[in-house]
Amino acid sequence: MSAPTAPSPTAAGSGRNATERFAEKQRSTAQVDHARVSAIATNAITALHEVIREHRVTYAEYDALKAWLIRVGEDGEWPLFLDVWVEHVVEEVANADRKGAVGTIEGPYYIPGSPEFRSEGTLPMRDGEAGTPFVFQGTVTDLEGNPLDDARVELWHADDDGFYSQFAPGIPEWNLRGTILTGPDGRFAFTTVKPAPYQIPTDGSCGALIAAAGWHAWRPAHLHLKVSAPGKQLVTTQLYFAGGQHVEDDVAQAVKPELVLRPTPAASGTGEEVTYDFALDPA
């Protein structure tokens, strides 16, 4: 009997898939606001000029930057680069006025249309899926605490090796991805396994930057969520595990204190469980 081939997270795999998915979904037909483009582009370019002056950047470094930028595109790693080092500030600005559930970055691995369940469900997973069995449950409410009927709770996360289905090779479609629609009590309960810490691909250009700078490539273990309901704002967020590796030094700087879970041993006697409620702002 031959051993199954373990999926390996390559830049040319997950990174390129993330680029293709993004390009498919992004069909921008927005009107260009010339004044805004000019203001933002001017400030961004001027900020770069200041960095060059401050650090007295050399021609050798300038050429290294050019070569690296070319390679990020060739590797298909622009979604990875932007979601790790830039998105958290876009999210901070976008959600500054929210009163309800706290958001954080989406990252590159969301796919709409995951299998749906009513009120409770077990995420699609392989026989003997590795990881601690885990029940993630809660209630979706409005800002006054009234339960929301027909709220959508979409959950996706990496497996115990830190890989995402539909992006890393060899994982069944929709593995560890699912959507719960709430009933009038606003409740949802997912049965899944706890994800593991996730290392962004180290074999491509983002990995080359991390190695050259002496940084690390790790994100803490996390659940990804999108929660919405009719007439309410959708929140995109992630939840982390207290005491987990890299909760304090996430490469993507996406951890916030409100997003750290403290699971307890499950009442069923197997695995762990945690309750987390989402209050949604009006649309």
Binding positions for Fe ion, rule: CB under 5 A:
107
Tell me if 240 contacts ligand DHB by CB under 6 A. no
Residue 200 interacts, among ligand DHB, Fe ion, none and using kind-specific CB cut-offs from 5 to 8 Å, with ligand DHB
Q: Could you give the CA distance from residue 221 to residue 241 in angstroms, rounded to a whole number?
A: 7
Q: Mark the segment that binds ligand DHB (CB under 6 A) among 23-31, 50-58, 76-84, 179-187.
A: 76-84
Task: Kindly give the residue spans of alpha helices, DSSP state H, lying in the chain.
Answer: 16-25, 34-55, 59-75, 78-85, 87-94, 205-213
Residue 220 interacts, among Fe ion, ligand DHB, none and using kind-specific CB cut-offs from 5 to 8 Å, with none
CB of 81 to ligand DHB, least distance (A): 7
Tell me if 263 contacts ligand DHB by CB under 6 A. no
Tell me if 109 contacts ligand DHB by CB under 6 A. yes
Contacts of 39 (CB under 8 A, 6+ apart): none
Q: Which is nearer to ligand DHB, 109 or 278 (CB)?
A: 109
Q: Could you give the CA distance from residue 237 to residue 104 in angstroms, rounded to a whole number?
A: 5
The helix/strand/coil state of 207 is: helix
Contacts of 172 (CB under 8 A, 6+ apart): 124, 126, 165
Which of 11, 72, 80, 223 binds ligand DHB (CB under 6 A)? It is 80
Q: Mark the segment that binds ligand DHB (CB under 6 A) among 94-102, 104-112, 127-135, 172-180.
A: 104-112
Q: Could you give the CA distance from residue 238 to residue 158 in angstroms, rounded to a whole number?
A: 12
Tell me if 193 contacts ligand DHB by CB under 6 A. no
CB of 231 to ligand DHB, least distance (A): 28
Distance of CA 64 to the CA centre of its chain: 29
DSSP 114: P
CB of 162 to Fe ion, least distance (A): 9
Q: Which is nearer to Fe ion, 150 or 258 (CB)?
A: 258
Please count the residues of the chain: 283
Tell me if 198 contacts ligand DHB by CB under 6 A. yes
Tell me if 154 contacts ligand DHB by CB under 6 A. no
Q: Could you give the CA distance from residue 174 to residue 69 in angstroms, rounded to a whole number?
A: 32
